[in-house]
Amino acid sequence: MTHITYIEASGQSTTVDLPDGWNLMQGAITNGIEGILGECGGSCACATCHCYVDEARLSDLPPPSDTERDMLSNAAAERRPNSRLACQIKASPRLEGLMLQLPETQE
């Protein structure tokens, strides 16, 4: 299990314990986190799970695929160097304590 902290656009912070292998979009939806829609169900076919990863932890993540980078160009909120799609990040011990900031909008 991996502790992940989601910080909603409102500032509400919620830490959840996710099973290893779950993607962070699944974790948000399952735990009622506001600000992640996941309209495509995690197939990297939309950008409604856009998030900002703690910049200090970017090196703990695998680099985004070409498909993820393409989808991020469709994100409704500002794209930043630390923008990622939560459906493409899997919980693992390496990500223990990771914090994700959620944008104001996904649509």
CB distance 101 to 4 below 8 Å: no
Smallest CA-to-CA distance from 101 within 43, 55, 39 is with 55
pLDDT value at position 97? Answer: 98
Secondary structure letter of residue 58 according to DSSP = G
Please tell me whether residue 75 adopts helix, strand or coil conformation: coil
CB distance 9 to 102 below 8 Å: yes
Residues 87-99 pLDDT 10s? 999 999 999 999 9
pLDDT value at position 107? Answer: 87
pLDDT value at position 48? Answer: 97
Left (φ > 0), alpha (ψ -120 to 50) or beta: where does 16 sit? beta
- Is domain 2-101 in CATH 3.90.1150.10, yes or no? no
Mean pLDDT score, 101-105: 97
- The structural domains of the chain, with segments of one domain joined by +, span 2-101
Residues 7-66 pLDDT 10s? 999 999 999 999 999 999 999 999 999 999 999 999 999 999 999 999 999 999 999 999
- Predicted model pTM: 0.96
Mean pLDDT score, 67-76: 96
pLDDT value at position 77? Answer: 97
Secondary structure letter of residue 86 according to DSSP = G
Q: Residue 54, class by beta-carbon neighbours within 10 Å (0-12 exposed, 13-18 middle, 19+ buried)?
A: middle
